[in-house]
């Protein structure tokens, strides 16, 4: 079971962790996570059970999220005003793959690779233009 402090260290250490996802949503996710570690840890538990019980190399983060929503009836806020937002699901799955060695590569992250490559190209282009 991960603590928020450990996850916060991972997020701070990997500045490219959420590349490809909306920066605005990233801010919201980082505010949401400390109050919803039960959801994060339940997601990890379901993912690991699936990976090892069924020997699955890849699986849908959305399917795990929906199972969690259905079975746990957990909610996003302590006040119980909101249900689990689908917008947090990609952040949870990407963080899970970074924080949990057993889950690395389990979920697809097509957008991240494309965004990362574009960002790296921009950084290289910027450094070339500044070097002239």
- The residue with tokens 């983060």 is 61
Pair 100, 48: CB distance under 8 Å: yes
Structure tokens at 59: 């699986």
d(CA 108, CA 93): 9
Chain-centroid distance, C-alpha 54? 22
pTM of the predicted model as reported, rounded to 2 decimal places: 0.75
**Which pLDDT score, from 0 to 100, does residue 28 have?**
94
d(CA 50, CA 64): 9
DSSP assignment of 24-58 equals: HHHHHHHHHGGGGHHHHHHHHHHHHHHHHHTT-S-
Give the pLDDT confidence of 83-119 residue by residue, as tens digits.
688 899 999 999 999 999 999 999 987 665 566 666 6
Closest CA to 96 of 17, 20, 34, 32: 17
Give the pLDDT confidence of 46-63 residue by residue, as tens digits.
999 888 887 777 889 999
């Amino acid at each position: 079971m991960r603590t928020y402090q450990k996850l916060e260290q991972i997020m701070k250490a990997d500045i490219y962790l959420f590349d490809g996802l909306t920066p605005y949503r990233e801010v919201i996710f980082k505010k949401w996570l400390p109050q919803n570690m039960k959801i994060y840890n339940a997601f990890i538990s379901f993912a690991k059970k699936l990976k090892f019980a069924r020997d699955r190399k890849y699986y849908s983060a959305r399917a795990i999220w929906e199972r969690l929503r259905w079975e746990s009836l957990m909610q996003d806020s302590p006040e119980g005003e909101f249900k689990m937002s689908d917008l947090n699901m990609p952040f949870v799955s990407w963080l899970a793959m970074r924080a949990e060695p057993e889950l690395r590569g389990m979920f697809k992250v097509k957008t991240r690779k494309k965004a990362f490559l574009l960002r790296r190209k921009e950084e290289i282009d910027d450094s070339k233009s500044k070097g002239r």
